[in-house]
Amino acid sequence: MASEIDGPVDRLPIDGYAGIGNLGSGERTQARIDGSIRINELLKGGVFRFMGYLQSTEVNDPVTNIKRDFSWYKRWETMIGIRQDVPGGKYNWGIMYRSQSQFNIYDPYLWGRFAQDPTVGFVFTAKINPQLNLNLMAKNIIGTNFGFGRKLIYNGFKYDPNGPYRHHN
């Protein structure tokens, strides 16, 4: 799916500083899959859920006249999870794993890429009555610190390609 985005607002370089400005129009293209499958043969009352997307964005920066991505848009994200509806319909529990790509930040003091570490979460739901559920959730339950986090931060508007902050993919 492709869509034109008219008037995105983002950070722009202005004399070595950053300002908020309108980028004109840009484009976002995304392929997405999202679904669930009953897995009763493996886990009674079980549901396997999956979601993922791959996307790209492009805009012509009116100040630098360079094509670039929008800030804060992730290139991809994935999620898989298993939920079990306990027989009787009053309780369910589940576990989920989520991972996402780095995203760009366009700011003279934060220019670079940032990625959140993958997370593993747990949820337990109890149906108190037809109008009220009790949800208990825990995120990052096993402390997945795979070394992602903040990456490659440098002053991009004053970037010297031969300097100490060379960009490597």
Terminus-to-terminus CA distance in the chain, angstroms? 26
* H-helix segments, 8-134: none
Model pLDDT, residue 167: 43
Measured CA to CA, the distance from residue 63 to residue 141 in angstroms comes to 44
Q: Which residue has the higher pLDDT, 66 or 76?
A: 76
Interval 85-108: pLDDT, tens: 998 889 999 999 999 888 877 765
